[in-house]
């Protein structure tokens, strides 16, 4: 077991000496968790095959699911990709630095393990001064998947990172909770029209405002697990974002949803299960469960996204057996929230309608 060093830094103006301690680990093949605007990432030098391999091992992540490579300037993008399509240029100008990852054909300078042997690479420039300072001081692009054990909810605080990875990584840069709360939107720019492979912190509507036509991979809105061969983004085929408790997602019109959640809560409690209910401010007072938590207001899906992963982890610390989660509209950040909830449930989705019963 390693000793994991905790480095507290100012999110706006990170102390350079602390960033340099972290960068030294990256430069010498080590692993450092760091904040981005979306979730905490676990970083390794993207050009160092052994470091990237160690990254997969620390996370217990399957080798066929490549992490995102993080950059701090356009020079790195030019080095790493074969070409920059005009639409990608537009997206980068509008959304970078920010919660948007683009899939390019790569130039071949990264080791195979960094891209899981694919001919494409996922790139993003994060909107966080600590992340950008770390990349700059490390003088290399940084491979960084979310800093959780594979399959667990992504970490939005340094405490979440340590829950999963203490003793498995060299250091954590702690700059407080992340702002967006769900991971970046992943867009394949090697196809025309470009296609969203994973919804995230940059809403689909915003991409359409810039490009007009934007495709949506059928995996994004899947309500049943997709057959593996039809899923194009490698990470999409694994169960993800899942707390220890079983998650059931209830979707439908608001009052029908409330009735259905209460009906299911009664059913599970009678069977002796400890029931958690994940709801919104508007419905918080309508539920009977052992632990009831709100994600925020339905009128502010950004706050719902920001709180999602932390709430899922809280239910685990309270030892609930089942989490009944309310659905939210599939618009704005709601698309990413629903994608994560459905995957966390292993696609246990219940449709609530006025006349239905369990
Ligand atoms: O917000 C984020 O994106 C966070 C922070 C740390 O930046 N990172 C993150 O990384 O979520 P990760 O590795 O957990 O998710 C990367 C996603 C996976 O779904 C992976 O399959 C997909 O991007 N991906 C990576 N390379 C790809 C490629 N060449 N083609 C298609 N999808 C790819
Ligand atoms: Mg992840």
Instruction: Show the 3-state SS of the chain.
Output: CCCCEEEECCCCCCCHHHHHHHHHHHHCCCCEEEECCCCEEEEEECCCHHHHHHHHHHHCCCCCCCCCEECCCHHHHHHHECCCCHHHHHHHHHHCCCCEEEEEEECCCCCHHHHCCCCEEEEECCCCHHHHHHHHHHCCCEECCECCCCCCCCCCCHHHHHHHHCCCCCEEEECCCCCCCCCCEEEECCCCCCEEEECCCCCHHHHHHHHCCCEECCCCCCCCCCCHHHCCCHHHHCCCCCCCCEEEEEEECHHHHHHHHHHHHHHHHHCCCCEEEEECHHHHHHCCCCEEEECCCCCCHHHHHHHHHHHHHHHHHCCCCEEEEECCCCCCCHHHHHHHHHHHCCCCEEEECCCCCC
Per-residue pLDDT, averaged over 300-312, amounts to 97
Least confident of 45-49, 72-76, 166-170, 354-358: 354-358
| pLDDT (0 to 100) of residue 228 | 57
pLDDT band at 239 (very low <50, low <70, confident <90, very high): low
Q: What average pLDDT does range 93-101 have in this prediction?
A: 98
Confidence of residue 341 (pLDDT cuts 50, 70, 90): very high
For the chain, list the domains and their CATH numbers: 5-216 (3.90.870.10), 246-352 (3.40.50.11030)
pLDDT band at 358 (very low <50, low <70, confident <90, very high): very low
145 lines ligand 1 (CB under 6 A): yes
Ligand 1 closest atom vs CA 99: 1
The helix or strand, by DSSP H or E, that contains position 308, with its residue range, turns out to be helix 301-317
Ligand 1 close to Cβ of residue 186 (< 6 A): yes
Q: Looking at the predicted structure, is the pLDDT value of residue 238 above 80?
A: no
Structure tokens at 240: 């993800």
For a ligand 1 pocket test, name from 31, 145, 178 the mutation site with the most ligand atoms within 8 angstroms of its C-beta: 145
| Beta strands per DSSP E along 233-326 | 246-252, 275-279, 291-294, 322-326
Query: Confidence band (pLDDT; 50, 70, 90) for 353?
Result: confident
Does 38 sit in the ligand 1 pocket, CB within 6 Å?
A: yes
**165 CA to centre of ligand 2 in angstroms:** 14
Mean pLDDT of the chain: 94
Q: How far is the CA of 355 from the centre of ligand 1 (A)?
A: 41
pLDDT range class, residue 1, cuts 50, 70, 90 = confident
How does strand 349-352 pair with strand 275-279? Answer: unpaired
Confidence (pLDDT) at 289: 87
Higher pLDDT, residue 120 or 151: 120
Helix 129-138 and helix 16-27, axial crossing angle in degrees, nearest 10: 50
Report CA(38)–ligand 1 centroid distance (Å).
Answer: 12
Q: Is the CB–ligand 1 distance for residue 234 below 6 Å?
A: yes
Across the chain, which distance is largest between two alpha carbons, in Å?
A: 62
- Measure Cα distances from 74 to 79, 124, 352 in Å: 9, 10, 48
- Cα(147) to centroid(ligand 2), Å: 7
Q: What is the distance in A from the centroid of ligand 2 to the CA of 269?
A: 32
The pLDDT of residue 242:
78
Please report the pLDDT score of residue 285 as a whole number: 95
Q: Is the pLDDT of residue 233 over 70?
A: no
Query: Count of CB atoms within 10 A of residue 282's CB?
Result: 15
Residue 273 CA to ligand 1 centre (angstroms):
35
Question: How large is the average pLDDT for residues 255-282?
Answer: 95
Mean pLDDT of 253-266: 95
Q: What is the mean pLDDT of residues 246-256?
A: 94
Q: Quote the pTM value.
A: 0.95
Calpha distance 93→56 (Å, rounded) = 31
pLDDT band at 278 (very low <50, low <70, confident <90, very high): very high
Summarize the confidence of residues 176-182 as an average pLDDT: 98
Least confident window among 144-148, 220-224, 313-317, 327-331: 220-224
For the Cβ of 260 lying below 6 angstroms from any atom of ligand 1, the answer is no
State residue 226's pLDDT score.
59
pLDDT > 90: percent of the chain: 87
pLDDT at 355 over 90: no
The bound ligand whose nearest atom lies closest to the alpha carbon of 153 is 2
Cβ(296) to ligand 1 under 6 A?
A: no
Is 155 close to ligand 1, i.e. is its CB under 6 Å away? no
111 CB under 6 A from ligand 1?
A: no
For ligand 1, is residue 184 a contact (CB within 6 Å)? yes
CA torsion sign, 244 to 248 to 249 to 255?
A: negative
Short-list 52, 14, 60, 9, CA closest to 30: 52
Ligand 1 pocket check for 181: Cβ under 6 Å: no
Per-residue pLDDT, 76: 97
In the predicted model, is pLDDT for residue 337 greater than 90?
yes
Q: Which ligand is nearest to the CA of 33?
A: 1
Provide the pLDDT for residue 237.
Answer: 54
* Residue to substitute in 32, 62, 67, 237 for testing ligand 1 pocket (most ligand atoms within 8 angstroms of CB): 67
Ligand 1 in reach of 103 Cβ (< 6 A): yes
In testing the pocket of ligand 1, which one of 82, 96, 101, 148 has its CB within 8 Å of the most ligand atoms?
A: 101
């Amino acid at each position: 077991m390693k000793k994991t060093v905790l480095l507290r830094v100012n999110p706006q103006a990170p102390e350079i000496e602390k960033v340099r301690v972290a960068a030294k680990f990256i430069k010498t093949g080590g692993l450092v968790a760091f904040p981005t605007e979306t979730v905490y990432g676990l970083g390794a030098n993207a050009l160092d095959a052994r470091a990237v391999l160690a990254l997969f091992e620390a996370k217990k992540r399957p080798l066929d699911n490549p992490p995102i490579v993080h950059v701090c300037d356009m020079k790195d993008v030019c080095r790493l990709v074969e070409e920059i399509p005009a639409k990608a240029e537009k997206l980068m100008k509008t959304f970078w630095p920010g919660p948007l990852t683009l899939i390019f054909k790569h130039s071949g300078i990264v080791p195979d393990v960094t891209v899981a042997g694919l001919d494409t690479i996922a790139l993003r420039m994060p909107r966080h001064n600590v992340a950008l300072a770390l990349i700059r001081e490390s003088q290399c692009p940084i491979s960084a998947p979310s800093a959780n054990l594979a399959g667990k909810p992504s970490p939005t605080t340094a405490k979440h990172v340590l829950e999963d990875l203490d003793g498995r990584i060299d250091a954590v840069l702690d700059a407080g909770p992340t702002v967006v709360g769900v991971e970046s939107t992943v867009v394949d720019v090697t196809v025309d029209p470009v296609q969203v492979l994973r919804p995230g912190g940059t809403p689909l509507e915003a991409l359409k405002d810039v490009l007009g036509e934007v495709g949506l991979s059928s995996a994004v809105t899947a309500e049943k697990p997709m057959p593996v061969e039809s899923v194009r983004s490698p990470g999409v085929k694994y169960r993800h974002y899942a707390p220890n408790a079983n998650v059931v997602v209830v979707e439908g019109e608001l009052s029908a949803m409330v009735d259905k959640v209460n009906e299911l809560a009664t059913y599970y409690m009678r069977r002796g299960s400890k029931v958690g209910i994940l709801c919104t401010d508007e419905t918080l007072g309508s539920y009977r469960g052992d632990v009831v938590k709100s994600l925020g207001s339905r009128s502010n899906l950004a706050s719902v996204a920001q709180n999602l992963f932390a709430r899922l982890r809280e239910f685990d610390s309270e030892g609930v057996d089942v989490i009944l989660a309310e659905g939210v509209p599939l618009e704005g950040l709601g698309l990413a929230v629903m994608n994560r909830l459905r995957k966390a449930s292993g696609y246990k989705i219940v449709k609530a309608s006025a006349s239905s019963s369990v």
